Copies of this chain bind each other. A is one copy, B any other.
Amino acid sequence: MTQLEKCMQDLMLIFHNYSGEDGDKATLSKKEMKKLIEKELPTFLAAQKDPKFVDSLMKDLDQNRDDKINFEEFLSLICGLSMACEECFRRSEKKGKK
């Protein structure tokens, strides 16, 4: 298995690790989503000022309005965060070269 294949597998396993708690592996309930963010994205969560952050994040991610987060909606969060980090990384590299 290549490093990229491992990344994709890990994204799925991490999602299922939390989504499977209530028996329905296909989606994260709000409780499961909150736990995932607290455990897996502590730095991201700590940077948020809004005490109701998880509620508003779920609203933004929940494209099909079923009050749950499916794997596609979860991946959109991961993509948003990854793109923000990648941009920061490139900017800091450019600054380093000046």
**A-side interface residues toward B, CB under 8 Å?**
2-12, 14-16, 25-26, 36, 39-43, 71-72, 75-76, 78-79, 81-83, 85-86, 89-90, 93
- Interface SS of A by simple majority: helix
Q: Among the listed B11, B15, B16, B83, which residue makes an inter-chain contact with A72, where contact means beta carbons less than 8 Å apart?
A: B83
Answer whether A11 and B71 are a contact pair too, CB < 8 Å, given A40-B3, A41-B4, A90-B26. Answer: no
Q: Are B5 and A43 in contact (CB under 8 A)?
A: yes
Chain B residues with CB below 8 A from A4, complex form? 10-11, 14, 36, 40-41, 78
Query: Shortest 10 CB-CB distances between A and B: which pairs?
Result: A4-B40, A8-B82, A75-B79, A2-B40, A12-B86, A71-B86, A7-B7, A7-B10, A4-B14, A11-B82
